[in-house]
Amino acid sequence: MSAEPMGLGVVAVSFKRFIFPVVLCFLSVGIVSAHTITGYVYSDTNSNGTLDVGEVGIAQVPISNGIHLVRTDANGFYQITVDANDDPQLADGGWPTISVSWPTGRWPTSNWWRNTEQIGPQNTCNFGLRTDNQFLPFMFVHSTDLHVLRGGREKFAGFRRDMKDMAACVRFAFLTGDLLDLADLQDPSIVNPEIAYFNEQAKDFPMSLFCIGGNHDAVGIRRPGSWSSSDPNRAYR
Ligand SMILES: [Ca+2]
């Protein structure tokens, strides 16, 4: 990969082979043993997000559990193990997560990552990829540590407007944590409005939007007594 800075937060990139999105591997306190996930990466010719009869596998596509990487075989099949003991930081909450890195000329037809709650007890997970025209220079925006709502609502709203203006030439925006403002240390009365506002601004974003949480996005884990362990916003959810 070669990269040439184009301005604040904008990079023109020539990918030789793969787009490599990164995803944190979130593990659950309740998961204590390793288990294996299997599935296919396939050419989703009708782009419906489902592996249908006649759709074929794609070889040599990387699948990651956030720590380790495997590649699909000649039939598009992969097998990867997730283990809660692999990363101590993940003991705060959440689920093991796997993700696909799609080749140049492809784009996912459904979510490019799944956690084990979404995958379910069958431990099978398929990733569909459609063909995609990708012209050079391939441009995206990387923004980090937004800390929404620090500085007020206008900051993220303004960022969204800027992205709308750039949507014709920028393929996607990539936000890395911290997405929220010290959400690990704050009460629900502060954090939940931040989450609601972030989701509101992220909805129907003017381009594909990829987000990765940071350490302060582990909601409420350093605010004992303020958050229920069953709260759907708590920890890495
Ligand atoms: Ca299909």
Alpha-carbon torsion 24, 30, 34, 36, what sign? negative
Ligand 1 centre distance from Cα of residue 107 (Å): 13
pTM: 0.76
CATH topology of domain 138-217: Purple Acid Phosphatase; chain A, domain 2 (3.60.21)
Segment holding 79, helix H or strand E: strand 77-82
Say what the pLDDT of residue 123 is. Answer: 96
Topology of the domain comprising 17-131: Immunoglobulin-like (2.60.40)
Contacts of range 230-235, beta carbons closer than 8 Å, 24 or more positions apart:
231/188, 233/188, 233/191, 233/192, 233/195, 234/93, 235/26, 235/92, 235/93, 235/94
C-alpha 53 to ligand 1 mean position (Å):
8
What spacing in Å lies between the alpha carbon of 128 and ligand 1's midpoint? 7
**CA 41 to ligand 1 center in whole angstroms:** 11
Interval between CA 162 and ligand 1 midpoint (Å)? 34
Model pLDDT, residue 86: 77
Distance 63 CA to ligand 1 centre (A): 20
Query: 51 C-alpha to center of ligand 1: Å?
Result: 5
- Residue 13 CA to residue 86 CA, distance in Å, equals 32
Per-residue pLDDT of the chain (237 residues; tens, 9 = 90+): 333 333 333 333 333 444 444 444 343 344 445 889 999 999 999 999 999 999 999 999 999 998 899 999 999 999 999 987 776 666 666 678 899 999 999 999 999 999 888 899 999 999 999 999 888 898 999 999 999 999 999 999 999 999 999 999 999 999 998 999 999 999 999 999 999 999 999 999 999 999 988 889 989 888 988 998 788 888 766
CA of 105 to the centre of ligand 1 (A): 17
d(Cα 81, Cα 37) in Å, to the nearest integer? 6
pLDDT for 116 equals 86
Q: How far is the CA of 112 from the centre of ligand 1 (A)?
A: 15
**Per-residue confidence (pLDDT) for residue 121, from 0 to 100:** 92
**Cis preceding-peptide flag for 178 (omega within 30 of 0):** yes
What pLDDT does residue 33 have? 58
198: CA distance to ligand 1 center in Å? Answer: 31
- Domains of the chain, by residue range, sit at 17-131, 138-217
CA distance 39 to 77: 6
Question: Sign of dihedral through CA atoms 48, 114, 69, 75?
Answer: negative
3-state secondary structure of 84: coil
Which residues make Cβ contacts (< 8 Å) with residue 106, sequence separation at least 6? 58, 129, 130, 131, 132
